[in-house]
Amino acid sequence: MKKASLIKLGVNIDHVATLRQARGTCYPGIVQAANVCEAAGAHSITVHLREDRRHIQDEDVYNLKKSLKIKLNLEMAIHPAIVDIALDVVPDEVCLVPEKRQELTTEGGLDVVKHFKQLEKICARLENKGIEVSLFIAPDAAQIKAAAWLGVPYIEMHTGTFCDETGTKADRELDRLVRGAILASEIGLRVNAGHGINMNNIGSVLSVPCLDTLNIGHSIVSRALFIGLDGAVREMLTAMSRYKAGFRR
């Protein structure tokens, strides 16, 4: 293994669309927001096309694919209609996530063990289109090994449980992330992470080894209210530049 030269930032701009959808207007523009993130140094743009279309709309995904010079990462449930859209758009990457209509945000990791056969078929269809597939999972050994058996190149470890905890519970969750990242790297998976990461906890997240990309959205869009979107992206990139624990095959 060799030391990674850089940990990358994927900016999730779902909540730019949340603000737009609150009034049903044509602004703020999703492509415009993505362009600002790109100019500020983001390495990829993430959007989650949910079944209920609560923020990102189909048209947004198509427009981003046409306009972006950096990678487009599409978060999506394993729902046939959404899979068909992904196969039509052909984003650079997809991240398969669990999804419930009632949740405010994604609440946990995908159960790869339970849905293995279904995921096997979906992953094959996406990969046949040249789309890189990632699985959003808890830092659990069984789930990580199942992801490797599927042959996907990436996992994205769910950091939300760690970010929501404090004290010894947070310490235990951080240890799970560390052990999960090491295991995934050892068995040939690239490791992304995301959910709940902000300027208050980024230092702890950066203690996790083997990380390729952090996907961060809500905290960056929230911070943008005070220092602008360009400033919020640059601020996070500056914090991430301290990463020294990343190792990659």
Q: Tokens 């914090």 identify what position? A: 239
State the Cα–Cα distance between residues 146 and 69, nearest whole angstrom: 33
Q: Tokens 């990969």 identify what position? A: 127
Which class for 118: exposed (0-12), middle (13-18), buried (19 or more C-beta within 10 A)?
exposed
Per annotation, catalytic residue among 15, 156, 195, 235: 195
Biggest CA pair distance of the chain = 50
Per annotation, catalytic residue among 38, 75, 93, 235: 75
* 43 has catalytic annotation: no
* 107 has catalytic annotation: no
Long-range pairs for 106-110: beta carbons < 8 A, 24 or more residues apart: 106/48, 106/75, 106/136, 106/158, 106/160, 106/195, 107/160, 108/138, 108/158, 108/160, 108/161, 109/136, 109/137, 109/138, 109/140, 109/143, 109/157, 109/158, 110/78, 110/135, 110/136, 110/137, 110/143
Q: Are strands 154-158 and 190-194 parallel, antiparallel or unpaired?
A: parallel
* 55 has catalytic annotation: no
Per annotation, catalytic residue among 15, 48, 55, 158: 48
Catalytic positions = 48, 75, 195
